[in-house]
């Protein structure tokens, strides 16, 4: 199962008593702040959760799977995620139960 934005908004409504419009605007603002910082090449970290990093990938050779033709894959920026040690420990603990 995938946790969606609507699921998060629903949980906020239940746990805080906020109205749906306020919760939805809060989540949208939160996501926009994260996207803006990542677009500027800045890392975004959440204590106890993890860190989103922007990484530069250089140009490289690839292969078109349909034709077998060699192609050059353009350089690009990608976002990676690293777990915090706290979250990693919680995931390990939940597997053992």
Label residue 37 by pLDDT band (50, 70, 90).
Answer: very high
Task: Check whether residue 33 and residue 56 sit in a common domain.
Answer: no
Task: Check whether residue 30 and residue 47 sit in a common domain.
Answer: no
Residue 31, φ and ψ in degrees, nearest 5? -65, -40
Domain total for the chain?
2
pTM above 0.85, yes or no: no
Task: Check whether residue 77 and residue 32 sit in a common domain.
Answer: no
E-strand stretches of the chain: 44-46, 50-57, 60-63, 70-73, 76-83
pLDDT at 86 over 80: yes
Residue 7, φ and ψ in degrees, nearest 5? -65, -45
Query: Which two three-digit tokens encode residue 56?
Result: 């530069």
Residue 20, φ and ψ in degrees, nearest 5? -65, -40
Residue 92, φ and ψ in degrees, nearest 5? -65, -45
Q: Cα–Cα distance between 45 and 51 in angstroms, integer? A: 4
pLDDT tens sequence across 48-72: 999 999 999 999 999 999 999 999 9
pLDDT tens sequence across 10-29: 999 999 999 999 999 999 99
Q: Cα–Cα distance between 56 and 1 in angstroms, integer? A: 31
Range of the domain at 57: 43-97
pLDDT at 97 over 70: no
Task: Check whether residue 28 and residue 60 sit in a common domain.
Answer: no
Label residue 76 by pLDDT band (50, 70, 90).
Answer: very high
Q: What is the pLDDT of residue 95?
A: 73
Task: Check whether residue 2 and residue 36 sit in a common domain.
Answer: yes
Task: Check whether residue 11 and residue 33 sit in a common domain.
Answer: yes
**C-beta atoms surrounding 23 within 10 Å:** 19
């Amino acid at each position: 199962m995938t946790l969606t934005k609507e699921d998060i908004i629903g949980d906020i409504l239940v746990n805080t008593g906020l109205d749906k419009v306020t919760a939805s605007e809060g989540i949208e603002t939160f996501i926009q702040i994260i996207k803006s910082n990542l677009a500027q090449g800045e890392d975004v970290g959440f204590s106890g959760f993890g860190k989103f990093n922007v990484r530069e990938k250089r140009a490289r050779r690839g292969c078109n799977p349909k034709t077998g033709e060699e192609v050059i894959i353009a350089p690009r920026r990608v976002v990676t995620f690293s777990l915090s040690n706290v979250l990693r420990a919680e995931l390990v603990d939940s597997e053992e139960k």
